[in-house]
Structure 1
Amino acid sequence: MKVFWVLLYNGFIYPLIFVFALVISIFDEKLRKSIIGKFKSTSLLKQYFKKFNEPPIAYWFHAASLGEFYQVKPVIDGLKEVRDDIKIIVSFSSPSGYENSINESIDLKIYAPFDFPWSIIKALNIMRPRKIIFASYDIWPNMIWLAKIKGIYTNIFAARIKHRSPKLRPVLKQFYKSMYASISSIYTVSETDSVGINTILGLNSSPFVKVLGNPRYDTVMKSSEDVSLQKTDSVLKREKRIIIGSAHEEDDDFLIPALADLMEEHPDMKVLYAPHEPSRTAIDRISKRFKKSGYRNTTFTKKSDMTLSSDRLIIVGVVGVLSKLYWQGIIAFVGGGLSTGIHNVMEPAIARLPVLFGPKYHHAHEAEELLKFGGGFCINGQNEFHDKIIQLLSDRKYLKLTSLAATDVIHKNLGSSSRIIRNLLND
């Protein structure tokens, strides 16, 4: 059965993906950057490794994008602390990860090579990695199959199997089984994920499957320690500011009219609005819609000074600052839950904010934890959003309770990166 999938993937599936990506890249700048970067990967590897007389001990980490890099970060930082002789190579699929992953623990970062057998063989022969480690989900079949043939240890950490995941359907289940069965070890986020992985594997007990948690909690906690002393303030002592983080256009449709109504009902309420991609077009679109409701905005464009103006409506026009700005709010809504899936709910949670988000959250274990412990709320539309904000604003005891519940979720899940490092070194 595995031979069938190898032939199908290399003879049809991946060539089709490759051609489709080339066509789409004509119109998509991000995809175009990724493809150009992939063409350069082999030369970057050659240039880096030619300086060593003897092949170094190299660990190859792969992250799809910036979100997955936040899972990788505490692991590679910890590895460097205990084994500074290990060379850390990190590959990305997306420009957002490649361009924004600034970290001293990375010895070389590249775009992941194309998943053609010859591209992967070249990369493996140049790098000779001791281990290949995937963050969460972005696994590539030929990387796994060829690593298995070459006797290279492979691992996935922070692995998740979503509720009703397509991976559990008969045909895809067999495809993923051909990959998972070739992996040396799999570390899942939760016991439920472990059950899902074992359901795919069936009786094949080749990889070790362990529940080790999500290291992104550790990243969020570490980042929060760099925020000013303001972080010690209870939400009850902060300005009455609602923070909208990583909003998509689908979110704008109900958020903007709801927020306009809330600002009219609560004259002391302020709004900080951060679009997922703060392009000039997105900022202008949001600004015009608020203006129609009678509210003018200022645009926040600073990257170092996090002091906010006294304006009631501020639109964030830069990336990389939202995690710090959450500390100046009392309630957060995180976007993406009406389209591609919610973004980072950990950052507002560690900032002690109750977190609202849309119904597409099942890929995020942390969102499920927030719902379970009362620090998060699933919102399906304008009326639910309005009513939940009113409930939180009108009941200070309830606001404080949900605030503490959100932060407790982060604290309960700390320590994953240490467990992953220990197991990666010993397995």
Structure 2
Amino acid sequence: MLSIIRPFISILLVVIRPLVPFIQKRLNFERKNFTEESSRRHTSSDYCFEISSEGELEQVRPLLQAVLSAGKKIEILYSSPSVETKCQKIFADYPELVRTLRMPLMSSFSVDFLYFRSIWFWVKSPVVVFCRYDFFPELLMLKFFGKKFILISGAFKKMSWYKTESFKLFDVVVAATELEKDKFVELLGDKARVYNCDFRVPRITERYTHAEEVIARKVSITPYIEKLKSLKPEEKIILGSAWASDLDILKNDQLIQKVKKGELHLLLAPHKLDDEFSLTLKTICSEIFGNDQVEVVNDKNPYKGSPVVILQMGGILCELYSLFKVAYVGGGYERSIHSVLEPYFSNNIVVTGPTIHRSTEFDLAFEITPHEIHVLKSPESFYTIIESLDLTALDVPARDQFKKHTEKEMKLIIKDILG
């Protein structure tokens, strides 16, 4: 039904766009589909990948890369501006094999027309790869065009009738965990091939292996990196993908005194990198620790020696985790926690806020070493947990064994998918 009325909604949105800044911004983003070389119409392709964010791109990247390495053509549909740079980089690296399209959420139509783009006409691939849980009706209707559907990182999270029925359309499912695999097998029976593997694990392992050289290229923060390396594991904590709502965990008198005395160093990696977001974090931290204890470090502002640093720099959070043994992952006081696998497989003990119900990554880490990933019952319990940790007893072998198993399993699955 939504697909039928979508063209009329799109026309309405175009008409009212001057009155609503958000709509105008989104339509301007989608309009680039008609002007950029990477989005031009084409006659054939082999695989279409639907990606909603950077997290989804990292999940499907091993399969995507395997397809490209085989010399096959791909299409990438992406819905978030946050992942545009990486998608365009893939196009730049493989201009003869890759086409990209911004998902026309507000400019969708049954046919290409003026400002509007038709997904049905643009997607030429016989195989469509979805990731996680974004099942746009227009994409699902491609099933009626004879397309084969593959789901990566499938999970029974935040279920609804619509999502359950969407699952039934898939021919191949790669479930996020063993438990999720059992649920898919029960639902789909022999109607689909069901596997269990998290494709991000080998990707994180690769980034962890090359972390030092990646960080070394960020020459503007070299003095700060040397400072971090000089600290013992118990003397530093990283707060990854931090929101303002996460900072209540720092409001503990003992923790504050340790920071002020120089006995504990805090690195905050903001969830967003714009100046306004970083300034908000700095203001809150300054209220907690004092203005002279907090600084924002970026390419223009070198490290000056403060015990609390807000690092305004993208693309290296996964690598930074390798310098720590204790990581707090942000988002647990928002809609959902962010990636816990990056710090976890960088050999950190992980602490999160309470909103974990959407995270299959949390489930996976908990399955491996449940005593090394912690959920706060209340913000003030953060320091209590930190003080109770034994960093010398970290179960690295369990992580290593799982990483080796996952990499082997992933290669077999990809080989089967590619035929």
The yes-or-no answer on 1:418 pairing with 2:417 is no
Residue 139 of structure 1 corresponds to 135
The yes-or-no answer on 1:59 pairing with 2:47 is yes
Q: Tell me the SS of whatever aligns to 2:66.
A: helix
Residue 220 of structure 2 corresponds to none
Residue 384 of structure 2 corresponds to 387
Q: Tell me the SS of whatever aligns to 2:407.
A: coil
Cα distance per residue 1:44-102 (max 9 Å; x no partner): 5896445xxxx444311011111100112121112222x11x11221111111123443
The yes-or-no answer on 1:272 pairing with 2:267 is yes
Q: Which amino acid aligns with 2:60?
A: V
1:400, distance to aligned residue in structure 2 (A): 2.7
Cα distance per residue 1:192-225 (max 9 Å; x no partner): 2234345655x7x54x141231111122112122
Report if the CA contact (8 A) 2:176-2:196 is conserved. Answer: yes
Q: Where does the alignment leave 5 or more consecutive residues of structure 2 unmatched?
A: 216-227
Measured in 2, the distance between the counterparts of 1:363 and 1:235 equals 37
- CA change 1:223–1:391 in 2 (3 A) is same
State how 1:74-153 maps to structure 2 within 5 Å: 74-81=62-69, 83-84=70-71, 86-101=72-87, 102-103=89-90, 104=93, 107-114=98-105, 116-118=109-111, 122-145=118-141, 147-153=142-148
1:214 is matched with which residue: 194, 198, 204? Answer: 198
Q: Which piece of structure 1 moves more, 313-322 or 99-108?
A: 99-108
How many residue pairs match? The answer is: 392
1:368, distance to aligned residue in structure 2 (A): 1.8
Q: Where does the alignment leave 5 or more consecutive residues of structure 1 unmatched?
A: 1-7, 168-172, 393-397
Measured in 2, the distance between the counterparts of 1:315 and 1:41 equals 36
Q: Which amino acid aligns with 2:322?
A: W
Residue 345 of structure 1 corresponds to 340
1:337, distance to aligned residue in structure 2 (A): 1.0
Measured in 1, the distance between the counterparts of 2:328 and 2:379 equals 12
Q: Tell me the SS of whatever aligns to 1:161.
A: coil
The yes-or-no answer on 1:297 pairing with 2:308 is no
State how 1:170-319 maps to structure 2 within 5 Å: 173=161, 175-197=162-184, 206=191, 208-228=192-212, 238=233, 240-255=235-250, 257=252, 260-261=255-256, 263-264=258-259, 267-292=262-287, 293-294=289-290, 295-302=292-299, 310-319=305-314
- CA change 1:382–1:17 in 2 (3 A) is farther
Measured in 1, the distance between the counterparts of 2:14 and 2:375 equals 34
Measured in 2, the distance between the counterparts of 1:281 and 1:309 equals 21
Residue 224 of structure 2 corresponds to none
1:245, distance to aligned residue in structure 2 (A): 0.6
Measured in 2, the distance between the counterparts of 1:22 and 1:253 equals 43
Report if the CA contact (8 A) 2:229-2:323 is conserved. Answer: no
Cα distance per residue 1:208-250 (max 9 Å; x no partner): 141231111122112122212799x999955721100111221
Report if the CA contact (8 A) 1:154-1:183 is conserved. Answer: yes
Report if the CA contact (8 A) 2:202-2:407 is conserved. Answer: yes
Report if the CA contact (8 A) 2:247-2:285 is conserved. Answer: no
Q: Which amino acid aligns with 1:138?
A: D
The yes-or-no answer on 1:404 pairing with 2:396 is yes
- CA change 1:365–1:142 in 2 (3 A) is same
Cα RMSD (Å): 3.8
- CA change 1:21–1:321 in 2 (3 A) is farther
Measured in 1, the distance between the counterparts of 2:398 and 2:327 equals 11
Measured in 2, the distance between the counterparts of 1:14 and 1:200 equals 33
- CA change 1:331–1:266 in 2 (3 A) is farther
- CA change 1:225–1:366 in 2 (3 A) is same
Q: Tell me the SS of whatever aligns to 2:394.
A: helix
Report if the CA contact (8 A) 2:155-2:176 is conserved. Answer: yes
Report if the CA contact (8 A) 2:260-2:307 is conserved. Answer: no
1:321, distance to aligned residue in structure 2 (A): 2.0
Measured in 1, the distance between the counterparts of 2:41 and 2:13 equals 32
- CA change 1:18–1:346 in 2 (3 A) is farther
1:148, distance to aligned residue in structure 2 (A): 2.3
Report if the CA contact (8 A) 2:201-2:406 is conserved. Answer: yes
1:112, distance to aligned residue in structure 2 (A): 1.8
Report if the CA contact (8 A) 1:375-1:404 is conserved. Answer: no
Q: Which amino acid aligns with 2:78?
A: F
1:121, distance to aligned residue in structure 2 (A): 9.1
2:373 is matched with which residue: 371, 376, 384? Answer: 376
Measured in 2, the distance between the counterparts of 1:315 and 1:404 equals 29
Measured in 1, the distance between the counterparts of 2:193 and 2:16 equals 39
Q: Which amino acid aligns with 2:127?
A: K
Instruction: Please report the TM-score for the alignment, with normalisation by the length of structure 1.
Output: 0.78
- CA change 1:364–1:47 in 2 (3 A) is closer
Instruction: Please report the TM-score for the alignment, with normalisation by the length of structure 2.
Output: 0.79
Q: Tell me the SS of whatever aligns to 2:125.
A: coil
Q: Which amino acid aligns with 2:99?
A: L
Residue 37 of structure 1 corresponds to 29
Q: Tell me the SS of whatever aligns to 1:90.
A: strand
Q: Tell me the SS of whatever aligns to 1:413.
A: helix
